[in-house]
Structure 1
């Protein structure tokens, strides 16, 4: 049985990280979203939650095709959570490497960094695991969370703020951190995508961190057009790295125009007891509940099945009408009986689509009978049998593939 968290219905667990568990969920309009439920030790840090509440308003200003936008947040109670756009795909850390279209990946990541930095957001934890690949396009997730939750109490509780090998030297050394740290992470992520290797090797976190600060990255195998840019991004001096806008210019891709920001949701800080407002983009007059959306989907599937089965029965009955009229009559009668039974169930139900269901059943029976006689008059028995056999094979293949 699914679980509810505020106005969201949690469907399945997608994964977990240092700060929380991510769940696939449905919003009140029946759309899929990703809900990140913060871990208890993170939820216990009131200061971190207060900073996150302030950051969420800025994070919501980040939009575009290459970022998973923050849609809603509730940061009070025992289970504070963030809601973002659900991105269906695989993380860069689990796709075959090296990536075939590196230029497309680099352009998308540069555009994502430009969108974040223009809004005043620093990702702070850009790495292959936080880059989702969907139809060849990268989408950056979890931006801004690491910066907001970077506190001694959260870190001491077990959450690692960042990943060695993708953290800039200034982060590891405790110096001031700005957007240059994300450019460093961009370079490390692109080096990994181009070679299939971590640019600063593997091993204990302390050893990797030492190599980041004191050794050059391993860029062997990076294409010639990309290597100079990555060396600049991975410079130990933050001032020597290009900006996100310069990355876009160097890659020959203009940043994607941003849509106007959505109206801000009500974000509940730890000290606020105001109820959460779910994400409501657009100005739809009617907002369907989850149950209503499911009923609509079931009705859509049922009607498609009704039409498909009616067409197939009509073909079989038309093919059998001349050599085996009794079989033809039996097929039509069996189909009509099944559909009439369905209509009878609909008459005594209280479903949202009861009237439309009865009408659709009546039309399908009349349509199947009329189509049978029309096909029998137009085509020969052999042709109709061939059509029916083809339809049967296609239907079986479709069911197996589904």
Structure 2
């Protein structure tokens, strides 16, 4: 940024980072205190359903208080640039700490586990679900963890997103039930807590890396790789990452278990051999989870193979070409018939509209938003071509163009 920018009562000093929902700035409030200001991305700000839900959730989110959370201090969701203001924590994201310094061990891991569990207990006590707990949403400052962005992903998972059948979140930290399309509750946060602590203790993502669908498949059908996690913590993480959400402890219970384990087994934890939750025949390459942003993706099922993905891309390409090409041809034919055969002109447009409407219906049934969008563009495009050509060219010129198009089509059929 250049000169400090003013956003309502706040001065934006510099950019701190960018996430799936907005740009985060370091700012100053009217009293001169440093704050973190998340300005929502334009595509998020344009979703009225998401903003309405976020506005309802903000009042609940502002009740969250605790030494390990970055509390929401202010919010403005009605202007051209909606934003949230939170307490500023000067530190590094946990994902960056692990990438630069390696796994956290010893007393540092104890402080991290205790602080994250306490933060989650504070969030849940206020009736809030974080929905996107992951290493990138944990700030480490002087060895103490602070949870940021709680409740935002949950609030912004609007009806328009939910209706599309997509999941908002980060693969590897989403609970199995969320991947299967169920609503995210506090149990899903406990699962994410377990995955985050497993990553912090080992430097590896507990379900490996790869395409989102492949990671999601492992989350649903395999146990996490907890090799290298200290035994005192591994016993807790096994329960936190249970496939059945009802079998997971609450955040408050995790806090109590961590305290008990630390008090009773600190000495044994230093000498006990590493525990491997599930034997592995190979180790997947490590990857910084900061490279895995919060995203929308389709849950369930097995991960598609490369050949299946190639076939899907080819079908989408053919579909786009067919819709665009047919829109141009129908628009041309309808404009040529407009003067002498207006009924035929209207019939062509109506029939084409019904065809693309039926195709869009299939796209909605299959939850293929790109297909629905292409059909909408094709339908409006045919009408636009019809209106434009009718106003610019004479009937004779349009008939000559129709003849040329027919000749080309007949030639292509004959050549095939």
Q: TM-score range, shorter-chain basis? A: 0.5 to 0.7
- Note the 1:236-275 alignment, pairs <5 A: 236-252=243-259
SS at match of 2:20: coil
| CA distance in structure 2 between the aligned counterparts of 1:235 and 1:192, rounded to whole angstroms | 16
Does the aligned pair in 2 maintain the 1:42–1:154 contact within 8 Å? no
Does the aligned pair in 2 maintain the 1:116–1:122 contact within 8 Å? yes
- Note the 1:137-148 alignment, pairs <5 A: 137-148=144-155
| CA distance in structure 2 between the aligned counterparts of 1:44 and 1:156, rounded to whole angstroms | 17
- Which of 104, 111, 124 aligns to 2:111? It is 104
SS at match of 1:51: helix
Residues 154 and 82 (structure 1), Cα distance of their counterparts in 2 relative to 1, 3 Å cut? farther
SS at match of 2:168: coil
1:117 Cα deviation from its structure 2 partner: 0.5
What is residue 123 of structure 1 aligned with on the other side? 130
- The list of structure 1 runs, each at least 4 consecutive aligned residues, that deviate by more than 3 angstroms after superposition, is 152-157
1:225 Cα deviation from its structure 2 partner: 0.8
| CA distance in structure 1 between the aligned counterparts of 2:181 and 2:62, rounded to whole angstroms | 27
Residues 235 and 107 (structure 1), Cα distance of their counterparts in 2 relative to 1, 3 Å cut? same
SS at match of 1:33: strand
Matched residues, number: 252
1:97 Cα deviation from its structure 2 partner: 2.2
Residues 213-237 of structure 1 deviation map (CA, whole Å, 9 limit, x = unaligned): 0011010100011111101000010
1:119 Cα deviation from its structure 2 partner: 0.3
Does the aligned pair in 1 maintain the 2:63–2:126 contact within 8 Å? yes
- Which of 79, 87, 90 aligns to 1:88? It is 90
| CA distance in structure 2 between the aligned counterparts of 1:241 and 1:124, rounded to whole angstroms | 16
- Which of 15, 18, 27 aligns to 2:17? It is 15
User: What is the root-mean-square deviation in Å for CA atoms of aligned residues?
Assistant: 1.6
- Which of 51, 54, 60 aligns to 1:52? It is 54
Please, what TM-score do these two structures have when normalized by structure 1? 0.61
| CA distance in structure 1 between the aligned counterparts of 2:223 and 2:36, rounded to whole angstroms | 37
1:162 Cα deviation from its structure 2 partner: 1.2
What is residue 182 of structure 2 aligned with on the other side? 175
Does the aligned pair in 1 maintain the 2:69–2:148 contact within 8 Å? yes
1:176 Cα deviation from its structure 2 partner: 2.7
| CA distance in structure 2 between the aligned counterparts of 1:38 and 1:108, rounded to whole angstroms | 28
- Note the 1:291-310 alignment, pairs <5 A: none
| CA distance in structure 1 between the aligned counterparts of 2:259 and 2:204, rounded to whole angstroms | 26
What is residue 308 of structure 1 aligned with on the other side? none
SS at match of 1:161: strand
- Which of 65, 78, 81 aligns to 1:79? It is 81
What is residue 4 of structure 2 aligned with on the other side? 2
1:177 Cα deviation from its structure 2 partner: 2.0
Residues 59-95 of structure 1 deviation map (CA, whole Å, 9 limit, x = unaligned): 0110111000000000012200000000100000011
Please, what TM-score do these two structures have when normalized by structure 2? 0.59
Does the aligned pair in 1 maintain the 2:167–2:179 contact within 8 Å? no
* 1:189 corresponds to 2:211: no
Does the aligned pair in 2 maintain the 1:59–1:144 contact within 8 Å? yes
* 1:26 corresponds to 2:40: no
What is residue 285 of structure 2 aligned with on the other side? none
Does the aligned pair in 2 maintain the 1:18–1:160 contact within 8 Å? no
SS at match of 2:169: coil
| CA distance in structure 2 between the aligned counterparts of 1:38 and 1:220, rounded to whole angstroms | 39
Residues 304-356 of structure 1 deviation map (CA, whole Å, 9 limit, x = unaligned): xxxxxxxxxxxxxxxxxxxxxxxxxxxxxxxxxxxxxxxxxxxxxxxxxxxxx
- Note the 1:268-287 alignment, pairs <5 A: none
| CA distance in structure 1 between the aligned counterparts of 2:11 and 2:51, rounded to whole angstroms | 23
What is residue 228 of structure 1 aligned with on the other side? 235
Gaps of 5+ in 2: 261-416
| CA distance in structure 1 between the aligned counterparts of 2:159 and 2:103, rounded to whole angstroms | 37
SS at match of 1:30: coil
| CA distance in structure 2 between the aligned counterparts of 1:176 and 1:94, rounded to whole angstroms | 30
Residues 179 and 82 (structure 1), Cα distance of their counterparts in 2 relative to 1, 3 Å cut? same
Does the aligned pair in 2 maintain the 1:165–1:198 contact within 8 Å? yes
Residues 251 and 185 (structure 1), Cα distance of their counterparts in 2 relative to 1, 3 Å cut? same
Residues 213 and 160 (structure 1), Cα distance of their counterparts in 2 relative to 1, 3 Å cut? closer
Does the aligned pair in 1 maintain the 2:49–2:159 contact within 8 Å? no
What is residue 63 of structure 1 aligned with on the other side? 65
* 1:201 corresponds to 2:203: no
Does the aligned pair in 2 maintain the 1:111–1:244 contact within 8 Å? yes
| CA distance in structure 1 between the aligned counterparts of 2:85 and 2:241, rounded to whole angstroms | 32
| CA distance in structure 2 between the aligned counterparts of 1:147 and 1:176, rounded to whole angstroms | 10
| CA distance in structure 2 between the aligned counterparts of 1:155 and 1:23, rounded to whole angstroms | 29
